[in-house]
Structure 1
């Protein structure tokens, strides 16, 4: 058996949107909304996941 090469795929938890900004509802003195950045804990902000290598049977 020979291992396959790892394949990079879109993170299933964040669907490729690893960092989002959430408004807090308050405003800054110049009128802009305050936001908090939230990062996907599964992919750690990359948006992709590396799948584990699977074994592939070759030959008969």
Structure 2
């Protein structure tokens, strides 16, 4: 029997892996200055790989 291969949601960010953070103020064109912060656990993907257990019994 095969196991599901769907990726699991990252437990650290709950799938919301990237966030835009405003730095405050605007540039000379009037745009908000933002940076993108990524989840350090999943590197911005929002998913974690499915773990396989070697030698585990069914």
Q: What's the TM-score once normalised by structure 1's chain length?
A: 0.73
Larger strand share, 1 or 2: 1
State the structure with more CA Rg.
1
Aligned to 1:14: 13
Q: What CA RMSD, in Å, does the superposition of the two structures yield over aligned residues?
A: 1.8
- Higher relative contact order structure (alpha carbons within 8 Å, sequence separation ≥ 6): 1
Deviation, 1:51, is 2.9
Q: Is 2:31 aligned against 1:36?
A: no
Q: How many residues align?
A: 54
Aligned to 1:27: 26
Ranges in structure 2 where 5+ consecutive residues have no aligned partner: none
**Separation of aligned partners in 1, 2:57 and 2:30:** 58
Ranges in structure 1 where 5+ consecutive residues have no aligned partner: none
Q: Which runs of 4+ in 1 moved over 2 A?
A: 4-7, 54-57
